[in-house]
Amino acid sequence: MRGIYIGRFQPYHLGHQAVLEEIAREVDEIVIVIGSAQESHGPENPFTSGERMEMIYAALGKGELRKRCIVTTLQDINRNSLWVSHLQSMVPCFDLVYSNNPLVIRLFSEAGVMVKKPPLYQRDVYSGSAIRALMREGGDWEKLVPPAVAGFIQEINGVERLCQVSKSDSASSADSAMHSSKETDF
Ligand code: NAD
């Protein structure tokens, strides 16, 4: 039996990991689909699909769970009614989907695909938006992601990137004037 678990994973956190461990108790193989693969360098989607893939592999480690997971990426399309067929054409075959995202549940259910809703793990704490907010505010975000993911985000200066792409040019005008000899604004 093969299940899929789709998410943006911006970033991959301990709520995602708890869901994955739950899914692993029910199916033999899991296809982890990194959605919105085209997105990066934005306040809601700071990390590239490749970086998100590295986070997931780092969190999986080298044990039994890793051997049972296939990690792949999927770009969005601007027609929700065609999204399930788009996904089916791009990922390995699967028997059921795990999601708590209402749109994802709706689209798969309408397409006649079995959907299971995994239990929520402190959704207010373990959520991508809450973790990105902590990163921007200098809060304690590291404890909300697997240690290997925290290490990877630090390695790529992910927090600095998120803070920079979350600024508006008007808010940073004094800053950019000071650094105009060194930096180019795009
Ligand atoms: P996400 O990373 O926010 O969450 C991934 C999954 O984990 C979701 O099911 C979420 O409910 C669950 N989750 C998160 N925290 C949890 C916690 N603490 N406890 C339990 N479960 C938790 O990703 P997402 O936004 O749900 O990803 C959906 C993807 O599907 C997006 O990339 C979206 O763009 C894509 N999509 C695309 C289209 C289209 O292209 N037309 C249509 C539908 C969906």
The per-residue pLDDT for range 113-132, each reduced to its tens digit, is: 999 999 999 998 999 999 99
33-42, 108-117, 173-182 — which is least confidently predicted?
Answer: 173-182
The verdict on pTM exceeding 0.85 is yes
Contacts 24+ apart (CB under 8 A), 110-117: 110/84, 111/84, 111/85, 113/84, 116/3, 116/26
* 127 Cα nearest atom in ligand 1: 15
Ligand 1 geometric centre to CA of 110 (Å): 17
pLDDT at position 94 is: 97
pLDDT at position 47 is: 98
What confidence tier does 183 reach under pLDDT thresholds 50, 70, 90? very low
HSE value, Cβ hemisphere, 13 Å, CA-based, for 85? 5
pLDDT at position 171 is: 55
pLDDT at position 170 is: 78
* 107 Cα nearest atom in ligand 1: 43
Look at ligand 1, atom 17, and give the residue with the nearest C-alpha. 15
List all residues whose CB is within 6 A of at least one atom of ligand 1. Answer: 6-9, 15-16, 19, 35-36, 76-77, 80, 83, 99-101, 103-104, 107, 118, 120-123, 126-128
HSE value, Cβ hemisphere, 13 Å, CA-based, for 7? 22
Arithmetic mean of pLDDT over the chain: 92
Separation between Cα atoms, residue 154 and residue 157, nearest integer Å: 5
Distances (CA, A) of 25 to 20, 61, 63: 9, 17, 15
* Residue among 131, 132, 154, 152 nearest 143 (CA): 131
pLDDT at position 169 is: 82
Which residues are within 8 A (CB) of 81 and not within 5 positions of it... i.e. 6 or more apart?
Answer: 107
9-13, 62-66, 84-88, 158-162 — which is least confidently predicted?
Answer: 62-66
Whether the predicted pLDDT of 186 surpasses 50:
no
Look at 180 and 88; give whichever has higher pLDDT. 88
